[in-house]
Amino acid sequence: EPEVTQTPSHQVTQMGQEVILRCVPISNHLYFYWYRQILGQKVEFLVSFYNNEISEKSEIFDDQFSVERPDGSNFTLKIRSTKLEDSAMYFCASIEGSGQETQYFGPGTRLLVL
Amino acid sequence: GENVEQHPSTLSVQEGDSAVIKCTYSDSASNYFPWYKQELGKRPQLIIDIRSNVGEKKDQRIAVTLNKTAKHFSLHITETQPEDSAVYFCAASSGGGSNYKLTFGKGTLLTVNP
């Protein structure tokens, strides 16, 4: 069964550094998402992406965040200047669309900002 | 925006007992309600979902009920087993158009004691 994949599984970075989290959604899916989960807390929506543009973003998704689908397979989340509070698990998810709403999550990238 | 409340935050049951987790939502436009199971350090996995045109859905030991008027939905697990121990998240979506973002509850840590 196809799965959403994410790399890296873990990333440690210094405050102020840029990080890029990578995701490969399921190949025939059309809607893409990033969520984050701070340790012990609920999953929070960051951004949705459809038809090569952002369709919605949350208050968390400020100017330090950006998303890109540079080719037909990858979907990336960039944090330009990381802060301590960006430490979290970041999940990518995708949906097929066309009436199919089931959202499939990737395994996550655990980001630790020191 | 949508707000999802989930109770209880922790639930401990004996193997073989039933477990019930309840969620309420605020946005009457929400029409899709999935439940995810998350084991420690793993991705959220969809276990069951329900759409607003259905009042109840069952899949073996798992069932979900939806009361649109009261804006609440519940997860029922019967004949619980130790491998059911995990964090369970409810979510809501007013999906359609270009966005199917999920708003999650805070999660319920279910412990099934052998």
Q: Residue B77 burial by CB count (10 A; 0-12/13-18/19+): exposed, middle or buried?
A: buried
Say if residues B105 and A61 touch (Cβ distance below 8 Å).
no
Distance of CA B106 to CAs B23, B24, B33, Å? 10, 12, 15
Q: What is the pLDDT of residue B100?
A: 83
Query: Residue A61: helix, strand or coil by DSSP?
Result: coil
Q: Is A52 on the interface with B (CB under 8 A)?
A: no
Kindly report the nearest CA distance between residue B42 and chain A, in angstroms.
Answer: 6
Say if residues B75 and B59 touch (Cβ distance below 8 Å).
no
Q: Is A31 on the interface with B (CB under 8 A)?
A: yes
Per-residue pLDDT of chain A (114 residues; tens, 9 = 90+): 789 999 999 999 999 999 999 999 999 899 999 999 998 889 999 999 998 999 999 999 999 999 999 887 899 999 999 999 999 999 999 998 877 888 999 999 999 999
Q: What is the pLDDT of residue A71?
A: 85
Q: Is A51 on the interface with B (CB under 8 A)?
A: yes
Q: What is the pLDDT of residue B41?
A: 85
Interval B35-45 mean pLDDT = 92
pLDDT, tens digit, 9 for 90 and up, residues B58-80? 999 999 999 999 999 999 999 99
Residue from B97, B109, B100, B98 nearest B10 by CA: B109
Q: Which residues from chain A sit within 8 angstroms of residue B36, using beta carbons?
A: 105
CB contact under 8 A, A50 and B99: yes
Residue B103 has its nearest CB partner, among A45, A95, A107, at: A45
Residue from A67, A54, A72 nearest A22 by CA: A67
The residue assigned the tokens 């969520």 is A35
Residue from A31, A55, A50 nearest A103 by CA: A31
As a 3-state breakdown, chain B gives helix, strand, coil percent values, each rounded to 5, of 5, 55, 40
Interface of A with B in 85-104 (CB under 8 A): 91, 95, 97, 101-104
Q: What is the pLDDT of residue B98?
A: 60
CB contact under 8 A, A105 and B100: no
Q: How confident is the model at residue B96 (pLDDT cuts 50, 70, 90)?
A: low
Say if residues B49 and B64 touch (Cβ distance below 8 Å).
yes
Q: Tell me the C-alpha distance between A112 and A38, whole Å.
A: 11
Tokens standing for residue A93: 């998810």
